[in-house]
Amino acid sequence: DAGITQSPRHKVTETGTPVTLRCHQTENHRYMYWYRQDPGHGLRLIHYSYGVKDTDKGEVSDGYSVSRSKTEDFLLTLESATSSQTSVYFCAISAPGTSGSWEQFFGPGTRLTVL
């Protein structure tokens, strides 16, 4: 399971409140990613990180920010949650696969509901 955990696993919050989701990995992977998954849209990249304090935007980054102060933790923050951010959020890491090429592996996900 690539040693990835996400917390919380479920969260219900109200519009306008800040929310932080945590991704924690235990295997010292350099590259980490945040995706959201919505019906009809598949998985879409929000932000990614290529090292401590090195992050960049994905295709759906508006309304989200990230931080990575330690290799093992990648935080996703919704500054002011909106109902359109109701989704399932997955963290992923990139690691060499069995053939030596790079592959992505996913954490268990966080189901976020914004009322």
Partner 1 sequence: QKEVEQNSGPLSVPEGAIASLNCTYSDRGSQSFFWYRQYSGKSPELIMSIYSNGDKEDGRFTAQLNKASQYVSLLIRDSQPSDSATYLCAVNQYNFGNEKLTFGTGTRLTIIP
Sites of contact with partner 1 (CB under 8 A): 30-31, 33, 40-45, 48, 50, 58, 90, 94, 97, 99, 101-109
3-class DSSP state of 62:
coil
The residue (of 2 and 63) whose beta carbon lies closer to partner 1 is 2
Quote the least distance from Cβ 63 to partner 1, whole Å.
19
Quote the least distance from Cβ 79 to partner 1, whole Å.
23
Contact 36, 60 (CB under 8 A): yes
3-class DSSP state of 75:
strand
The alpha carbon of residue 114 and the mean position of all alpha carbons in its chain are separated, in whole angstroms, by 17
* Cross-strand bridge partners of residue 88: 37, 111
> SS3 breakdown of the chain: % helix, strand, coil, rounded to 5?
5, 60, 35
Quote the least distance from Cβ 10 to partner 1, whole Å.
11
The residue (of 16 and 52) whose beta carbon lies closer to partner 1 is 52
* Cross-strand bridge partners of residue 25: 4
The residue (of 75 and 93) whose beta carbon lies closer to partner 1 is 93
The residue (of 53 and 99) whose beta carbon lies closer to partner 1 is 99
Quote the least distance from Cβ 76 to partner 1, whole Å.
15
